[in-house]
Amino acid sequence: MNNMKSVRNNALYIFLLMILVAFLVSTLLRNNQSLPVVDIGRVAQLVNEGRVERITVSGQDLTIEMTDDSVVQSRKEDAGSIFETLRNLGVSEEKLGAGPDQIEIVVKAPSMWVSLAPLLISIVPVLLLAGFFIFLMRQAQGAGNQAFSFGKSKARVFTGDKPTVTFADVAGADESKQELQEVVEFLKEPQKFASLGARIPKGVLLVGPPGTGKTLMAKAISGEAGVPFFSISGSEFVEMFVGVGASRVRDLFEQAKRNSPCIIFIDEIDAVGRQRGAGLGGSHDEREQTLNQILVEMDGFDTDTNVILIAATNRPDILDPALLRPGRFDRQVVMDRPDMKGREQILKVHVRGKPLEPAVDLETIARGTPGFVGADLENLVNEGAILAARRNKRAIGMPELQEAVERVIAGPERRSRIISLKEKEIIAFHEAGHALVRRMLPKCDPVHKISIVSRGMALGYTMALPENDRVLVSKTKFEQDLSAMLGGRMAEQLIFGDVTNGAVDDLDKVTKLARAMVTQYGMSPKMGPMVFGQRHEMIFLGRDIGEQRNYSEQVAREIDKEVDRIVTEAYDRAKDILTRYQDLLRAISKRLMEVETLDAAEFEAFFTGLPGIPPRKLGPADTPGSPSPSRGNAPAPDRPSTTPSPRPAPA
């Protein structure tokens, strides 16, 4: 197919080149005719006067060479020969006969170009203009290179006879694969369901956070069923021309029906599937016309076409209700973040074909990466391979994978950044404050690494890793996490008697979490189990633009007081811990100044033998150089926490 397109394109260019050459030739011929022109009667007179040496005849055109070496042109109008024409004009016979004064007459066959020159001069400009217009139209169509194909679908087609992705390539989503196995069975054996009167879902909506493998799952369904797979993004439907989106939808579904059984996959369907009537252009913009056509086509599916529509989105809340009703997208399959077992399975998929050292323990890597999705883990393995190649190793080792986790989370190390000794000391106490408060509060996630080495935009970081995957967070844990986040600022104030702007991220997250505890989670005894405020979202923007207060100014003051109380209590709790264990704070900071990085085992050694502090059992992910969790200061049920170091003050 591509070869045929190339041949057609080359033929067009050759044709345009030939027209251009013909035009140039005709122009040159016309320019050659710019000699002086005399009347045929004057030519006869010159002949009689003996001033003509040679006459060259080409059709009706005459070229007269004079005895003085000048050249003129003329043209005879009659159809007779040049001899008859000159005799009729009074030229003597001795000039035309065999006498010594006879002039030389040469008769040449007229050139093809000469005969075609007038025609070419008239039509070539028109042909050039038409060719140039066609060229511009082809270029405007992009990769398809098809003139006037605005309404054609740009879906990429995979035949399905040689599947590249199957369910074996999708890990960490066993429940989702089980849900979609019915779709595969229907495409393989539709009579099995038809005999029982069952109707297969017309549409399947894959829902989940970015990077969880929604697109990969759709390709796996096609690979398992062995049917054609039409893939297109939601943004490819709508362009600047009115009606293009609806036309492309019709063309896509027509192609699918001709190739049934097959699968249509629309990625990021929220680009055209957002709720109607919410845009700036009212209810008749191009996007909504495209959505209306999708709804019509889904309703128009015949029961025997065996065409299944699969769509993916990470914003199901903004989709139009008409799109989600039964009979269109009958089934929603959630692609959630994988648990520890799922992460290990995903890692096994991504390390296929890559040489690994025997000491590599994927279970430890999976345990140290809670909250990671499939895309994160794929990037982790790739970064590990790059690090191994950089170190001239023949296999990927555990140190490379462990460092890759930190690179994915916080970026590469920046040891070349110049930091003064005083600032380095402040960073060390800041990070030690975070770690010490977190260690002394039982509900906080255990500390796994402390570093004052700059990574990315952070000057240092304290990482905490949950012992198990968590989906629920208690009020007590929120309160203790607030204290841990404020520990860095409290350490600066306690040791130096002053604070820096290094806690700006901590304070932002503390404020948001404390307010959420009061207004969203119902964790304030005074305000009670209520939700305060209603979020407003502009659907066509896809984000919150404000919050409507459904409460009075007096209630707002009470909310502010409760937020202030929660933050103050957390700050005092951090102050109490750091004041009580100030010597331990100084010891940890001094060690950080010496080695720059402390792992879980080295950090836990500071608490060995201290009365009243129970020892913490180290897990497999707590070994020296173990992987560290992701960024994000605020505790989250599905992500570990990282407390960043101070950042430089803005200029």
Residue 144: what pLDDT? 44
CA 456 to chain centre: 23
CA-wise closest residue to 491 among 448, 437, 445, 438: 437
**Average pLDDT, whole number, for the chain?**
78
Instruction: Please say if the pLDDT value at position 170 is more than 80.
Output: yes
Nearest-angstrom CA–CA distance, 253 and 524 = 54
For the chain, the residue count is 651
Residue pair 392/376 in contact (Cβ under 8 Å)? The answer is: no
CA-wise closest residue to 67 among 92, 85, 93, 49: 49
Question: Strand 52-58 and strand 61-66: pairing?
Answer: antiparallel
End-to-end CA distance of the chain: 58
Residue pair 529/491 in contact (Cβ under 8 Å)? The answer is: no
Q: Which helix (H) or strand (E) holds 523?
A: none
Instruction: Please say if the pLDDT value at position 630 is more than 50.
Output: no
Residue 540 — very low, low, confident or very high, per pLDDT cuts 50/70/90?
A: very low
Type of residue at 520: Q
Residue 135: what pLDDT? 65
Q: At what angle do helices 2-32 and 112-140 cross, to 10 degrees?
A: 140
| Strand order through the sheet with 52-58 | 71-75, 61-66, 52-58, 104-108
Nearest-angstrom CA–CA distance, 121 and 118 = 5
User: Which among 211-215, 225-229, 485-489 has the top mean pLDDT?
Assistant: 485-489
Please write the tens of the pLDDT for every residue from 427-464. Answer: 999 999 999 999 999 999 888 889 888 776 677 888 88
**Alpha helices for 450-552 (secondary structure H):** 475-496, 504-519
Residue 542: what pLDDT? 42
242's tokens: 């009115």
- Give the E-state strand segments of 507-577 in sequence order: 534-538, 543-548
Nearest-angstrom CA–CA distance, 315 and 331 = 16
Bond into 261 cis (ω within 30): yes
Find where tokens 């495409």 sit.
187
Residue 627: what pLDDT? 38
Instruction: Please say if the pLDDT value at position 487 is more than 90.
Output: yes
Nearest-angstrom CA–CA distance, 112 and 24 = 15
Q: 0.75 cut: is pTM over it?
A: no
Please write the tens of the pLDDT for every residue from 269-284. Answer: 888 888 876 554 444 4
Q: Which helix (H) or strand (E) holds 280?
A: none
Instruction: Please say if the pLDDT value at position 60 is more than 90.
Output: no
- Determine which one of 224, 268, 431, 604 is catalytic: 431
**Among 243-257, 401-415, 529-543, where is mean pLDDT lowest?**
529-543
Backbone angles phi, psi at 134, to 5 degrees: -65, -40
Rounded to an integer, the average pLDDT of 592-615 is 86
User: Rounded to whole angstroms, what are the CA distances from 584 to 394, 491, 495, 595?
Assistant: 43, 12, 12, 17
**Among 54-68, 92-106, 362-376, where is mean pLDDT lowest?**
92-106
Residue 194: what pLDDT? 77
**Among 177-181, 229-233, 557-561, 628-632, where is mean pLDDT lowest?**
628-632
Residue 98: what pLDDT? 54
Residue 279: what pLDDT? 53
Find where tokens 């008239």 sit.
122
CA-wise closest residue to 430 among 477, 498, 480: 498
Residue 628: what pLDDT? 36
Number of Cβ within 10 Å of residue 554's Cβ equals: 8
Nearest-angstrom CA–CA distance, 50 and 326 = 104
Give catalytic status of residue 431 as yes or no. Answer: yes
Dihedral Cα 434, 439, 443, 444, nearest 10 deg = 40
Instruction: Please say if the pLDDT value at position 92 is more than 80.
Output: no
Residue 610, C-beta contacts closer than 8 angstroms, at least 6 positions apart: 584
Rounded to an integer, the average pLDDT of 625-630 is 37
Residue pair 612/621 in contact (Cβ under 8 Å)? The answer is: no
Rounded to an integer, the average pLDDT of 83-91 is 75
Residue 138 — very low, low, confident or very high, per pLDDT cuts 50/70/90?
A: low
Residue 4: what pLDDT? 52
Residue 156: what pLDDT? 67
Nearest-angstrom CA–CA distance, 81 and 89 = 13
CA-wise closest residue to 176 among 208, 209, 222, 203: 208
Residue 149: what pLDDT? 52
Q: What percent of the chain has pLDDT over 90?
A: 21
Nearest-angstrom CA–CA distance, 254 and 3 = 25
Q: Which helix (H) or strand (E) holds 541?
A: none
Nearest-angstrom CA–CA distance, 577 and 65 = 117
Residue 201: what pLDDT? 76
Residue pair 292/284 in contact (Cβ under 8 Å)? The answer is: no
